[in-house]
Chain A
Amino acid sequence: MQFTPNELLLGRQRLYMLPTSHGIYFGLLLLAMLLVAVNYNNGLAYAFTFLLSAMGLVSMLYTHRNLVGLRIIPKDADPVFVGQLASFPVQIDNPSPTIRSDIWLVSNQCRRRMDLGPQSHEQVLLSAATTRRGYLRCPVISISSAFPFGLFYTWAKPARPAYRCLVYPKPGPLLPWPAHFRSGGGREPHRGIDGDDFAGLRAYQSTDPPGHVHWKAAAHGQGLQTKRFGGATNATIWLDWRATHGPDIEDRIGILCRWVLDADAAGLRYGLRMPGVELAPERGQSHLHQSLRALALWRPPDV
């Protein structure tokens, strides 16, 4: 199965069908019934056996109809950090006037059930584990159904949509600021916890240092929020690859990632300098993402 640029239509050629284990038991039941009918020469027993057999056959058509004509429309997933679950939104579209129920979107990591009314659509999140930074491709997905009896199940030829999730590096442990940095104001900025002006609250992210969590609000049941500090607005900091040490590249990227997050949380202007990459000091959400993206995709230049 191949995805057209943005969607997949479930045609007849894409659908496969097999009996479930219950379907096989059902076949054995029919066989036993037939033996009774033959042995007792019983007309109604024949009729009943054949009625159930025909019902089984017709239920295959129902099973097939339950999937045919559906459209699968996947999308890119929002970026996450390594270790978090990537959630690919997948929209299933039912353009037909019939109800489609008991439909399962299946990937190798999870299954999601949905029921679709006539001419309606539903979006489910397909989660996938992340183990390394960079792009994570949408997992191989398929869609299946055992409607109406669970005697047969049909599934679409599995496909891998060309959608992906950007996975940021895992932030390293808290470390002091890089020893070697240049700042516009000449003053070494604090880590932005005390001494600087409180600049507001934003929703907690799992990478936020625990010290920044607004615990009082949390205690009042307002959810986890992180305090932002805007005190060192003029401070500029260069986060430099050369300031990190260690044998492992990923650890060093993790440290940089931590610094980026901290610098952002502290409201600093920060720049990122790595072999082959240099981002001018800036601040704000898009700069944060740009920096994290650069870290996620960074490859050591060939020596």
Chain B
Amino acid sequence: MFEFRSYRPPDDAPDRTAANALLASTVAVFTLHVQRLPLWLSLVVAMLVAWRYLIENHGWRTPGRMVRWAMVVAATVMVFNQYHSLLGRDAGVALLAILIGLKLTEMRAFRDYVIAVFLLYFFTLSAFLFSQSPITAVTASIVTVATTVTLVRLRNISVLAASRSLKMALGLLLRALPIMLIMYLLFPRIQGSLWALPHDAFGARTGLTDRVAPGTINRLAEDDEIAFRVEFDGPPPRPDQRYWRALVLSATDGRTWYRSRGSMDGGADWRFRSHGPPLRYTVDSEATGKQWMVALDMPALPPAGALAGPGRTVVARTPIQKRFRYSMASYTSYATEETLSAAVRAHALRTHGPASRRLRGLLREFRARPDPVEAVLGFFRDQDFQYTLTPPGLGDDPLDEFLFESRRGYCEHFASAFASLMRHLGVPARLVVGYQGGRWNPAGGYLIVRRSDAHAWSEVWRPDRGWIRVDPTAVVAPERIDWGIEALHALSAQGVVPGQLGSATVRALLTRPWMTRQWQALQLRWDALSTTWNRWVTAYGPESQERLMRRLGFAAPSWAGMAIGLTAGVTAALLLVSATLLGRRRTRDPAADAYSLICAKLASTGLQRRPHEGPLAFSRRVGIERPDLADEFSQFIDLYIRLRYGPDASPSHMSILQKLARRFRAAPA
């Protein structure tokens, strides 16, 4: 006999309308990429699309083999010229774009068209390597519907009108959604990559650095990028408690503060002498490309999966290359229990070079006071120090210049000057870098912290309390702490110098017009939406998966368990979908309806049609058992058979049949 392969329906070459549909979806898919592709590349692809259009619709000739190969070589050279590589994300996408364009010009057989559609799908996917925003997702969905309609039309152009293929593709995609959702949630995710990613895999990032010099943090003041978001289990902490600790720096060269080697920034001792109630929260961090993680001052313990860094900071095991969520607890009021080793103490007292003459004079004044911390903070408050978003640059001896000449600075100026003064006064001190503040989003119930909220403060060692936080900025510009960096921007735009007005005046100054407030509320709503989006799309990884599994009642989710869940879930969803698709529907044939009506009427008189009895057999039996009904019934049956099985059924016959069924009256025998 012949083998199963021969049952495969042949693939006829698609016709012109299919080619045009393919061209249209190509244009649609390119909208996802056009803003990133170099202009010449977009023009080349547009030219190729136009060429195919002319081939299809105006009888142009398909390019020969030589021309096609020449185009491939030329395009490859141009891509190499642009990216200096043929590998990597950007060059790869450019090559894919060229490949699609060239495929368009040479398509002939069904198979070519299918390959072109597959390339378009892959091209759609590659857009997600650049953006995973909800807008990208929505655009990609529309584009995918278009591509899928094309795939349907490749085979079925003759029967399916455009609207029908759209309906068909939409129906198919909608039915695929629940299955996709199960696969998405349950497919085991892994941390990290399968192989080394190209250097351009994640694009460039800037943000907080682990070397702080005057001006480093100030540069971030205009950076509106979101650094992380935080959800609290209870109410959020007060603004003046929102200190997000990232790095502890205790080495300095007089200008720059940086991390020390070994454990000189503080050991891994996490004990507390006393503390208030814990505050539990979940941080949803953007990718930083760095290992350090933020924690509210003062973290109780590193979260699961993270490590304890120097000076009670938290570090991840690998650099954070994608959005990342973690839960932890902190104490906003605390006294740490830790010992300061002689080496760390010496390190935390190290100053750069001898003090100048005027500095020595100042230090003498401070030493006369009972509390050196209060003395220095009072000095900042009472002298004409000014907190500004645009501090002047500092020369060779930044500490001296700042204290005696410029007296204008951003947080890092004050914090590093304070720490240096403390060290001169014999108090161990260090610099802490992180974020301060954040904006509460009432729409989503979380705090948004941006890069502009980056902040530096100091910590000093007190024998009775351990390391405690001292923020000189809070003294010079309380608005920065109470109202956040945004308020400071607003105030400085109005020419207000921070730290000189009462809080009521500041509040009045900061009240925005109604329109602005509405606009801001709208922005917060959008941010809430994108946060939910991020939690389930960008940041959905092994941890979130485990959390979900636990919430679904699986105590210890394992790979094996998830694989079983995945298979079972997909099978169940597929069965459900097949029930909606293949389930028996009530026949819509009015003739059959009329037939069951008349049979029901006869059954009520005791004349039941037997299951095996066809219409003719039943009619004969009716003729024998109820001769009074025989004429009327056989008339109905004749018409019924003609309508259902005959070649010439007309709507008028159908209405007669229905009338006969309705009028049929059977008196009980």
- Across the interface, do A153 and B8 meet the contact criterion of CB distance under 8 Å? yes
Q: How many residues of B contact A (CB 8 A)?
A: 73
- Across the interface, do A111 and B176 meet the contact criterion of CB distance under 8 Å? no
Whether A119 is near chain B, meaning CB under 8 Å from some CB there, is: yes
* B residues in contact with A43, CB < 8 Å: 132, 536-540
* A residues in contact with B541, CB < 8 Å: 41
- Across the interface, do A49 and B125 meet the contact criterion of CB distance under 8 Å? yes
Give the interface SS of chain B, mostly helix, strand, loop or mixed. Answer: helix
Q: State A51–B177 Cα separation when bound (angstroms).
A: 7
- Across the interface, do A55 and B173 meet the contact criterion of CB distance under 8 Å? yes
Give the interface size bracket for A toward B: 35 or more
28 example contacts (A-B, Cβ-Cβ < 8 A) are as follows A22-B114, A41-B189, A41-B193, A42-B129, A42-B132, A43-B132, A43-B538, A44-B538, A45-B128, A48-B140, A49-B125, A52-B121, A54-B183, A55-B176, A57-B176, A57-B570, A58-B581, A59-B172, A61-B574, A99-B164, A102-B159, A113-B9, A118-B588, A119-B588, A146-B155, A148-B152, A150-B155, A155-B4
Stretch binding the partner chain, chosen from A27-35, A81-89, A183-191, A249-257: A27-35
Stretch binding the partner chain, chosen from A62-70, A171-179, A201-209, A234-242: A62-70
- Across the interface, do B587 and A153 meet the contact criterion of CB distance under 8 Å? no
- Across the interface, do B187 and A46 meet the contact criterion of CB distance under 8 Å? yes
Q: State A62–B155 Cα separation when bound (angstroms).
A: 14
Interface residue from A48, A61, A111 paired with B9 (Cβ < 8 Å): A111
Interface residue from B4, B114, B126, B137 paired with A150 (Cβ < 8 Å): B114
Instruction: From known contacts A20-B8, A47-B537, A97-B587, infer whether A64 and B582 are also in contact, taking CB-CB under 8 Å.
Output: yes
Whether B552 is near chain A, meaning CB under 8 Å from some CB there, is: no
Whether A147 is near chain B, meaning CB under 8 Å from some CB there, is: yes
**Considering only CB atoms, which chain A residue lies closest to B571 in the complex?**
A57
- Across the interface, do B156 and A29 meet the contact criterion of CB distance under 8 Å? no
When each residue 112-150 of chain A gets 1 if its CB lies under 8 Å from chain B and 0 otherwise, what string results?
A: 010100110000000000000000000010101111111
Instruction: From known contacts A58-B172, A58-B175, infer whether A99 and B159 are also in contact, taking CB-CB under 8 Å.
Output: yes
Q: State A59–B201 Cα separation when bound (angstroms).
A: 34
* A residues in contact with B514, CB < 8 Å: none
Instruction: From known contacts A50-B183, A51-B180, infer whether A33 and B159 are also in contact, taking CB-CB under 8 Å.
Output: no
Q: State A24–B536 Cα separation when bound (angstroms).
A: 31
Write the nearest CB–CB distance from B459 to chain A, whole angstroms: 35
Whether B2 is near chain A, meaning CB under 8 Å from some CB there, is: yes
- Across the interface, do A58 and B176 meet the contact criterion of CB distance under 8 Å? yes
- Across the interface, do A40 and B151 meet the contact criterion of CB distance under 8 Å? no
Instruction: From known contacts A40-B201, A42-B132, infer whether A149 and B155 are also in contact, taking CB-CB under 8 Å.
Output: yes
- Across the interface, do A44 and B582 meet the contact criterion of CB distance under 8 Å? no
Instruction: From known contacts A97-B585, A97-B587, infer whether A41 and B322 are also in contact, taking CB-CB under 8 Å.
Output: yes
Q: Which residues of chain B in 196-250 are interfacial with respect to chain A, using CB atoms and an 8 Å cutoff?
A: 197, 201
Whether A104 is near chain B, meaning CB under 8 Å from some CB there, is: yes
Q: State A118–B187 Cα separation when bound (angstroms).
A: 40
- Across the interface, do B180 and A54 meet the contact criterion of CB distance under 8 Å? yes
* A residues in contact with B404, CB < 8 Å: none
* A residues in contact with B1, CB < 8 Å: 108, 140, 158
When each residue 7-19 of chain B gets 1 if its CB lies under 8 Å from chain A and 0 otherwise, what string results?
A: 1111100000000
* A residues in contact with B396, CB < 8 Å: none
* B residues in contact with A3, CB < 8 Å: none
* B residues in contact with A36, CB < 8 Å: 125-126, 129
- Across the interface, do B172 and A150 meet the contact criterion of CB distance under 8 Å? no
Whether A106 is near chain B, meaning CB under 8 Å from some CB there, is: yes
Whether A244 is near chain B, meaning CB under 8 Å from some CB there, is: no
**Considering only CB atoms, which chain A residue lies closest to B111 in the complex?**
A22
**Considering only CB atoms, which chain A residue lies closest to B114 in the complex?**
A22
- Across the interface, do B176 and A54 meet the contact criterion of CB distance under 8 Å? yes
Whether A101 is near chain B, meaning CB under 8 Å from some CB there, is: yes
Among B111, B156, B173, B538, max chain A CB count under 10 A is at: B156
Whether A38 is near chain B, meaning CB under 8 Å from some CB there, is: yes
Whether A39 is near chain B, meaning CB under 8 Å from some CB there, is: yes
Whether B184 is near chain A, meaning CB under 8 Å from some CB there, is: yes
Interface residue from A38, A48, A150 paired with B190 (Cβ < 8 Å): A38
Write the nearest CB–CB distance from B25 to chain A, whole angstroms: 14
* A residues in contact with B168, CB < 8 Å: 148
- Across the interface, do A53 and B180 meet the contact criterion of CB distance under 8 Å? yes
* A residues in contact with B164, CB < 8 Å: 99
Whether B613 is near chain A, meaning CB under 8 Å from some CB there, is: no
**Considering only CB atoms, which chain B residue lies closest to A143 in the complex?**
B7
Write the nearest CB–CB distance from A181 to chain B, whole angstroms: 47
- Across the interface, do B9 and A153 meet the contact criterion of CB distance under 8 Å? yes
**Considering only CB atoms, which chain B residue lies closest to A62 in the complex?**
B172
Q: State A101–B168 Cα separation when bound (angstroms).
A: 12
- Across the interface, do B574 and A57 meet the contact criterion of CB distance under 8 Å? yes
The 8 A-B residue pairs with the shortest CB-CB distance, nearest first, are A54-B176, A54-B179, A155-B7, A50-B183, A43-B537, A44-B128, A115-B159, A54-B180
- Across the interface, do B173 and A51 meet the contact criterion of CB distance under 8 Å? yes
Whether B81 is near chain A, meaning CB under 8 Å from some CB there, is: no
Write the nearest CB–CB distance from A122 to chain B, whole angstroms: 12
- Across the interface, do B152 and A48 meet the contact criterion of CB distance under 8 Å? no
Among A50, A65, A102, A142, max chain B CB count under 10 A is at: A50
* B residues in contact with A35, CB < 8 Å: 194
Whether B652 is near chain A, meaning CB under 8 Å from some CB there, is: no
Q: State A142–B9 Cα separation when bound (angstroms).
A: 11
Q: State A102–B151 Cα separation when bound (angstroms).
A: 14
* A residues in contact with B190, CB < 8 Å: 38
Whether B554 is near chain A, meaning CB under 8 Å from some CB there, is: no
- Across the interface, do A16 and B148 meet the contact criterion of CB distance under 8 Å? no
- Across the interface, do B582 and A65 meet the contact criterion of CB distance under 8 Å? yes
Whether A199 is near chain B, meaning CB under 8 Å from some CB there, is: no
- Across the interface, do A146 and B9 meet the contact criterion of CB distance under 8 Å? yes
Q: State A37–B128 Cα separation when bound (angstroms).
A: 9
When each residue 149-177 of chain A gets 1 if its CB lies under 8 Å from chain B and 0 otherwise, what string results?
A: 11001010010000000000000000000
Write the nearest CB–CB distance from A125 to chain B, whole angstroms: 17
Q: State A274–B187 Cα separation when bound (angstroms).
A: 79
Instruction: From known contacts A145-B9, A146-B155, infer whether A38 and B582 are also in contact, taking CB-CB under 8 Å.
Output: no
Write the nearest CB–CB distance from B45 to chain A, whole angstroms: 21
* B residues in contact with A150, CB < 8 Å: 11, 110, 114, 154-155
Q: State A97–B585 Cα separation when bound (angstroms).
A: 9
* B residues in contact with A38, CB < 8 Å: 190, 193-194
Q: Which residues of chain B in 33-83 are interfacial with respect to chain A, using CB atoms and an 8 Å cutoff?
A: none
Write the nearest CB–CB distance from B579 to chain A, whole angstroms: 10
- Across the interface, do A55 and B193 meet the contact criterion of CB distance under 8 Å? no
